[in-house]
RNA sequence: GGGCCUGUAGCUCAGUUGGUAGAGCACCGCGCUUACACCGCGGACGUCGUCGGUUCGAGUCCGGCCGGGCCCACCA
């Protein structure tokens, strides 16, 4: 209790009449941090619960998808904290190799310099500088959102500690021969000058040309026609392949044919890969520029000739095409071959899938390259098994097939990147061809004290794929490879919350490395997947569409709570959500409603002091709301636990708005006005309801709930309040059905009277004289006062003359409308209702006269239909009588 | 090419083991009823894509078709 917590000091009357999110949210976050609420306590003796944040890229700022991701994690972790767990939500950021390097290079370009002008060391220093700036922005946004992360444990994938983890695991994998270096066809971006993972390649249909190309003598018997979309690669052909069983080419297998334009003699080989049905049944083989061809080349021992520079310029072919860009060469080669009559004049457009760099959209070039790989076989198998045998749960379960589809058929992972920003591959090459992989504390024999390598040694130039370090995140952030208390305590983490879009390349890799590094212990027990945030039409957000929502803008306009509540309300497990500004406004409105309800309670002396009054002293209305509160508490608890955020927040929304505000508060006004013991009981129940509701809502909307809760209870903060699991003093679940049905009957009657009034043109606030009879037969004998208050009926004094009569079930309400009754309106209303009732009666009768139904349907269902018939018949009778009683108009 | 998901009120979406269709927003009346016009009261709105099957009964299960979307993929 210090100056940092002004909210605590305010008397109840100080709650401003108007809810202003900025005023509520502004000071709260820092006070939470100052009080250390978010700091995990390994020595607390409490049961641990841990989440590591999916580290946002240091590039740019948080987008709405991050806001969703963080909201979900914050809901989970805040609830656990309230449940008394030692809750750790570990924050941090990812260095995002290529993305970050691109951003910084773009900055440099504005000043007309390239990274090569600076040199590697200076450039990397520049990136660090930039990271400090950009990273700060993200942290500010997280604070704004209310993320209850443990700032004392913030990490960055390029931190010294995490870099040690990277080097340690690299060395271990290397020693276990799970990392190897090999020439492979990789996706190469000629513009970014880097290898791209399969995931960074977008395939979409482009129009090209499937050229038919004649090899061998155009008229000779060694004539072979092949088809290709990349004719320029023929300069690097080293074979022609046909299917072994293809009679058309049997005579050619084993022979050599001259490669046009180049003059090289290349063999015809037989390979199963070739589909004799496709095209001409013959394939040109360019091992250095096509993955299939590479494999064919490997099988037949043919050379791989690289004909392109990293920039995509033809080189080393000894032809006039050297020096041409690949697309330029495509045309030139085609023309040259056409001149020789090997290619037809006619162009046949051909639409096919072409890979593009996901970052710059350049057409990727399959290219032979010396790269580092992780041999994923055993690692992926373990990752699959962990889910198969139930050690790791994927939520929702429908995502499991995708998981298995991926881990059960994973290619080896190319981990080297031709970048400067990232973890440098810890491998050194010696003058005599030596290759040495170094662990964190190792150095080359003969190194100088300052680490300068011996003469002739140099380190591999490449850095590791960003995902390599992210894959270690669940334990590297806890201090691994050191033997820390945090690793011991918080690993495996309890739940991983992330979007299904990175299930494969992040989650799968964490699973592989986690199981590998931590002796088979999984990195998390549960993977909770959420979807993508889309625009109001369900379209993907993109800068080009101009439909991107900036979470900060919405927080400015509606508050962080409203943004969070909006995202939570749309968060159905694993599925995308469409959001619009109306939703945010609706969420803000809900916070306002909550605020106003709390104001009402405070102005009326609601309290949480002392025990809840015994059931014997509670009114039916109290019992009803407490029963409902107990139900909603159980629902919310279970719903949050099962990651059903949409369902749960929706249920709380309706409980607060439709039940507490619309009915309970209105009904409570009577005993509060009456004073005495009934008022005392109501004040206590009212306090209880709000207290519990605020605690249940706190994980989703932390700011406004804390502001209100401290006012209501005088407690320190709802952040550290106990999580409600049951409502003490309320009847046990399934609640108090008697009270619930009694109040339901009351609500039905009041609604009926209100509707009648509205049909008759009475203004909602206008009080009229009325006489109510028959309440006892509906079990509402004790509720006449409430009916009168909510339906605005005055007691009928002397001289009362009924001019309109409403029969609602057993109850009759006669109103003195002083001749204002609209007979036609009432007739229309009654006839409509009669139609509905008759239809219901007919449906029930039809079912009950169906012998098959009677014979086969369960008894309870039959009983339900019988009951329905009775009700419908009574309703028909009532409406017919009411219609008959209308004045002839 | 293979696989997955999806089609419910004008819009965006819920609908638990098959048993009389729901929400928010938008819409139509009326209203400053002493917490709240970021509100209240009342109202209207769907042959659950389509055809067929299973069943006493299907939005809910099965099959075909049509319409969207996604993932994976080396088809030259």
pLDDT per residue over A187-234, tens digit each? 888 887 777 766 667 766 677 787 888 888 877 777 888 888 888 999
Residues above pLDDT 70, as percent of chain A:
94
> Integer distance in angstroms from CA A498 to C1' B9?
33
For position A197, what pLDDT does the model report? 67
Q: Which pair of structure tokens corresponds to residue A329? A: 């060469």
Cβ A603 to strand B below 7 Å: yes
Interhelix angle A21-34/A560-569, nearest 10 degrees: 90
Cβ A589 to strand B below 7 Å: yes
* Cα dihedral A171, A172, A176, A180 sign: negative
Q: Which pair of structure tokens corresponds to residue A719? A: 């952040």
Considering only CA atoms, name the residue closest to the C1' of nucleotide B39.
A593
Of residues A8 and A643, which shows the higher confidence score? A643
Cβ A752 to strand B below 7 Å: no
The 10s digit of each residue's pLDDT in A472-499 is 999 999 999 999 999 999 999 999 999 8
A855 CA: nearest nucleotide by C1': B56
For residue A729, pLDDT over 60 is answered with no
Q: Which pair of structure tokens corresponds to residue A410? A: 């994973």
For position A708, what pLDDT does the model report? 95
Q: What is the mean pLDDT of chain A?
A: 86
Q: Which pair of structure tokens corresponds to residue A4? A: 């940092």
Give the residue among A205, A183, A203, A207 at the shortest CA–CA distance from A195. A183
Cα dist from A303 to A262, A300, A626, whole Å: 15, 9, 80
For position A211, what pLDDT does the model report? 85
What is residue A214's DSSP assignment?
E
Give the residue among A376, A622, A357 at the shortest CA–CA distance from A509. A376
For residue A410, pLDDT over 50 is answered with yes
- Which among A259-273, A388-402, A677-691, A831-845 has the top mean pLDDT? A677-691
Cβ A864 to strand B below 7 Å: yes
The 10s digit of each residue's pLDDT in A511-530 is 999 999 999 999 999 999 88
The 10s digit of each residue's pLDDT in A62-93 is 889 899 999 999 999 999 999 999 999 999 99
Residue with tokens 């995931």: A199
Confidence tier at A10 by pLDDT (50, 70, 90): very low
Comparing A249-253, A611-615, A719-723, the range with the smallest average pLDDT is A249-253
For residue A12, pLDDT over 50 is answered with no
Cβ A351 to strand B below 7 Å: no
> Integer distance in angstroms from CA A585 to C1' B27?
18
For position A192, what pLDDT does the model report? 77
Contact of A590 with A653, CB cutoff 8 Å: yes
* A416-417 and A265-270 strand pairing: unpaired
DSSP characters over A615-639: GGGS-HHHHHHHHHHHHHHHHHHHH
For position A6, what pLDDT does the model report? 37
Gap between the Cα atoms of A317 and A264, Å rounded: 10
- Name, in order, each residue with C-beta under 8 angstroms of A555's C-beta and a sequence gap of 6 or more: A144, A145, A562, A563
For position A199, what pLDDT does the model report? 62
Confidence tier at A1 by pLDDT (50, 70, 90): very low
Gap between the Cα atoms of A5 and A188, Å rounded: 56
Confidence tier at A546 by pLDDT (50, 70, 90): confident
- HSE-up (13 A, CA, CB side) for residue A675: 0
DSSP characters over A743-809: HHHHHHHHHHHHHHHHHTT--TT--EEEEEE-GGGGT-GGGHHHHHHHHTEEE--TT----EEEEET
Gap between the Cα atoms of A62 and A65, Å rounded: 8
> Integer distance in angstroms from CA A861 to C1' B16?
18
Average confidence (pLDDT) over A379-400: 85
Interhelix angle A581-603/A676-697, nearest 10 degrees: 150
For position A305, what pLDDT does the model report? 87
Nucleotides of B under 7 A from a protein CB: 3-5, 11-15, 19-20, 23-26, 29-33, 35-36, 38-44, 55-57, 70-76
DSSP characters over A344-357: -SS--EEEEEEEEE
Give the residue among A792, A127, A29, A79 at the shortest CA–CA distance from A495. A79
Cβ A354 to strand B below 7 Å: no
A580 CA: nearest nucleotide by C1': B12
> Integer distance in angstroms from CA A574 to C1' B49?
24
Q: Considering only residues 507-546 of protein chain A, which place a Cβ less than 7 A from any atom of strand B? A: 534, 536-538, 540
Residue with tokens 């409502």: A727
Confidence tier at A4 by pLDDT (50, 70, 90): very low
Gap between the Cα atoms of A97 and A105, Å rounded: 12
Q: Which pair of structure tokens corresponds to residue A817? A: 């409308």
- Name, in order, each residue with C-beta under 8 angstroms of A521's C-beta and a sequence gap of 6 or more: A491, A492, A514, A515
């Amino acid at each position: 209790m210090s100056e940092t917590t002004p909210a605590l000091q305010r008397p109840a009357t100080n709650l401003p009449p108007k809810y202003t999110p900025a005023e509520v949210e502004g000071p709260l976050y820092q006070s939470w941090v100052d009080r250390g609420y978010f700091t995990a306590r390994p020595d607390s003796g409490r049961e641990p619960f841990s989440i590591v944040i999916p580290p946002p890229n240091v590039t740019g700022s948080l987008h709405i998808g991050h806001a969703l991701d963080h909201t979900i994690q914050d809901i989970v972790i805040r609830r656990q904290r309230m449940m008394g767990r030692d809750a750790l939500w570990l924050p941090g950021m990812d260095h995002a190799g290529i993305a970050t390097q691109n951003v910084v290079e773009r900055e440099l370009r504005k000043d007309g310099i390239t990274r090569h002008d600076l040199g590697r060391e200076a450039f990397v220093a520049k990136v660090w500088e930039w990271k400090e700036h950009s990273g700060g922005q993200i942290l500010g946004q997280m604070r704004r959102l209310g993320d209850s992360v443990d700032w004392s444990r913030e990490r960055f994938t390029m931190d010294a500690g995490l870099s040690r983890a990277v080097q340690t695991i690299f060395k271990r994998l290397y020693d276990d021969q799970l990392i190897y270096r090999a020439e492979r066809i990789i996706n190469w971006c000629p513009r970014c000058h880097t290898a791209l993972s399969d995931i960074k390649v977008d395939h979409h249909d482009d129009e090209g040309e499937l050229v038919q190309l004649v090899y061998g003598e155009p008229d000779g018997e060694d004539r072979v026609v092949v088809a290709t979309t990349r004719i320029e690669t023929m300069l690097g052909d080293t074979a022609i392949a046909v299917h072994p069983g293809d009679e058309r080419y049997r005579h050619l297998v084993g022979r050599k044919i001259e490669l046009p334009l180049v003059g090289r003699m290349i063999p015809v080989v037989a390979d199963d890969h070739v589909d004799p049905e496709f095209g001409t049944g013959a394939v040109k083989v360019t091992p250095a520029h096509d993955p299939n061809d590479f494999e064919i080349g490997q099988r037949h021992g043919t050379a791989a000739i690289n004909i392109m520079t990293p920039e995509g310029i033809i080189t080393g072919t000894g032809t006039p095409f050297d020096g041409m860009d690949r697309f330029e060469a495509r045309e030139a080669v085609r023309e040259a071959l056409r001149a020789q009559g090997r290619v037809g004049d006619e162009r046949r457009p051909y639409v096919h899938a072409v890979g593009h760099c996901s970052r710059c959209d350049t057409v990727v070039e399959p290219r032979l390259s010396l790269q580092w790989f992780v041999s994923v076989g055993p690692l992926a198998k373990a990752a699959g098994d962990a889910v198969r045998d139930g050690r790791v749960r994927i939520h929702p379960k429908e995502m499991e097939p995708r998981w298995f589809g991926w881990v059960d058929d994973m290619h080896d992972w190319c981990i080297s990147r031709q970048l400067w920003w990232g973890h440098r591959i810890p491998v050194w090459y010696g003058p005599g061809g030596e290759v040495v992989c170094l662990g964190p504390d190792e150095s080359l024999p003969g190194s100088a004290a300052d680490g300068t390598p011996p003469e002739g040694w140099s380190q591999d130039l490449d850095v590791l794929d960003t995902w390599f370090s992210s894959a270690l995140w669940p334990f590297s952030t806890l201090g691994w490879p050191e033997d820390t208390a945090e690793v011991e305590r918080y690993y495996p983490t309890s739940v991983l919350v992330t979007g299904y879009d990175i299930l494969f390349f992040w989650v799968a890799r964490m699973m592989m490395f986690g199981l590998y590094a931590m002796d088979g212990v999984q990195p998390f027990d549960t993977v909770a997947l959420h979807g993508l945030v889309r625009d109001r039409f369900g379209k993907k957000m993109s800068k080009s569409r101009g439909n991107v929502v900036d979470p900060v803008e919405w927080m400015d306009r509606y508050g962080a709570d409203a943004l969070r509540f909006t995202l939570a309300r749309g968060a159905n497990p694993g599925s995308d959500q469409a959001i619009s500004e109306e939703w945010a406004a609706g969420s803000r409105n809900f916070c306002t409603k909550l605020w106003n309800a709390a104001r009402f309670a405070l102005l009326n002396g609601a309290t949480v002091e002392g025990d809840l009054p015994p059931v014997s002293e509670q009114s039916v209305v109290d019992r009803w709301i407490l029963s409902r509160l107990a139900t909603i508490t159980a629902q919310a608890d279970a719903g949050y636990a099962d990651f059903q955020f949409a369902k749960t927040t929706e249920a709380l929304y309706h409980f607060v708005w439709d039940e507490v505000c619309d009915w309970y508060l209105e009904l409570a006004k009577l005993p509060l006005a009456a004073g005495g013991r009934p008022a005392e009981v109501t004040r206590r129940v009212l306090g209880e309801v709000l207290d519990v509701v605020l605690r249940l809502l706190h994980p989703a909307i932390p700011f406004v709930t804390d502001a209100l809760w401290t006012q209501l209870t005088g407690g320190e903060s709802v952040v550290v309040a106990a999580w409600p699991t049951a409502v003490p003093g309320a009847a046990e679940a399934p609640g108090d059905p008697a009270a619930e049905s009694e109040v339901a009957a009351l609500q039905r009657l009041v609604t009926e009277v209100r509707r009648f009034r509205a049909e008759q043109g009475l203004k909602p606030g206008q009080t009229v004289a009325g006489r109510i009879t028959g309440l006892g037969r509906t079990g509402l004998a004790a509720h006449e006062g409430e009916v009168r208050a909510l339906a605005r009926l005055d007691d009928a004094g002397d001289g009362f003359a009924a001019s309109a009569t409403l029969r609602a079930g057993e109850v009759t309400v006669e109103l003195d409308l002083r001749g204002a009754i609209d007979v036609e309106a009432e007739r229309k209303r009654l006839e409509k209702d009669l139609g509905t009732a008759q239809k219901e009666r007919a449906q029930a009768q039809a079912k009950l006269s169906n012998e098959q139904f009677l014979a086969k349907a369960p008894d309870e269902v039959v009983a339900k239909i019988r009951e329905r018939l009775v009700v419908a018949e009574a309703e028909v009778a009532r409406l017919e009588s009411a219609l008959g009683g209308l004045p002839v108009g």
